[in-house]
Amino acid sequence: MKQYIVDAFAPRPFTGNPAAVCVMDAWPTEESMMLLARENNLSETAFIVGGNGHYHLRWFTPGCEVELCGHATLASAYTVMEQIEPGLDEVRFDTLGGELVIRRDGDVFLMDLPTYELHEIPVTHEMTTAFGARPSRAVLRLDLICVFDDEETVRAMRPDQTLLMTIPGRIQNATARGTDVDCVSRSFCPKLAIPEDPVCGSAHCQIADFWCRELGKPEILAYQASERGGYLRCRPLGEGRVEIGGEASLVAVSEIVAPLP
């Protein structure tokens, strides 16, 4: 089994969000995939099986399997189009989140991903205490998005990971309107055993929809203000879909030699 380490939403290595991509002829056991995800200790390890531009794709965090992951999808598409089947301009993945189509536009990989209808909810004392600052608004569907008035509040915050576990959402996102970009965000994922996701594609399926509506723009440039940082090109497509684009960089290629259960 070959394993690729790819930095997603990264024009150069050691930025963006790293993902491991394991390329296999057949599925190992779920226990094996979980063990490898924990061994890698990255926010996501992707497993792909297939060929001829059509693959099955699964994603595992160190804590569980998830139904959608943007950055590991981008990393998987990069691996297929650069390493496995160079020359492809499009790849299709069958996933728990449905079929995902990723196409190439120069150095940028554009992912057609599902989005979710957002519902505004009251800002609570628990949100304020968890983030260490009071949001001006909060919206929820799969993830929680807390909106702040100042991007510096988002960049500087040090939330309480234990308290984040007690408020709604699979992921707890903090976001604000940006100065040099349309929006600045951070994504905290203690419920998935990830304190902070360096650049979260799936969260931006919702963040992008919110800010495009809020700013009245057909597309936005978003920045994930984690320590590693990363840019995302986001464009709602309508009918519950959003296009998220970014670059990717290869860091390492290895071979799994340990016997798997």
Tell me if residue 44 is catalytic.
Answer: yes
Identify the DSSP state of 217: -
User: Look-up: residue for tokens 């790293």?
Assistant: 18
**154 to 42, 109, 184, 195, 223: CA distances (angstroms):** 23, 27, 8, 15, 11
| Phi, psi for 29 (deg, rounded to 5) | -75, 160
Short-list 16, 58, 40, CA closest to 193:
40
- Of the residues 44, 196, 243, 247, which is catalytic? 44
59, 50, 55, 53: which is closest to 17 by C-alpha?
59
**Pair 210, 135: CB distance under 8 Å:** no
Amino acid at 154: V
Q: Are 77 and 6 in contact (CB under 8 A)?
A: no
Q: Residue 2: enclosing H or E segment and its boundaries?
A: strand 2-8
Angle at 46 between CA 77 and CA 29, to 5 degrees: 135
Catalytic residues: 44
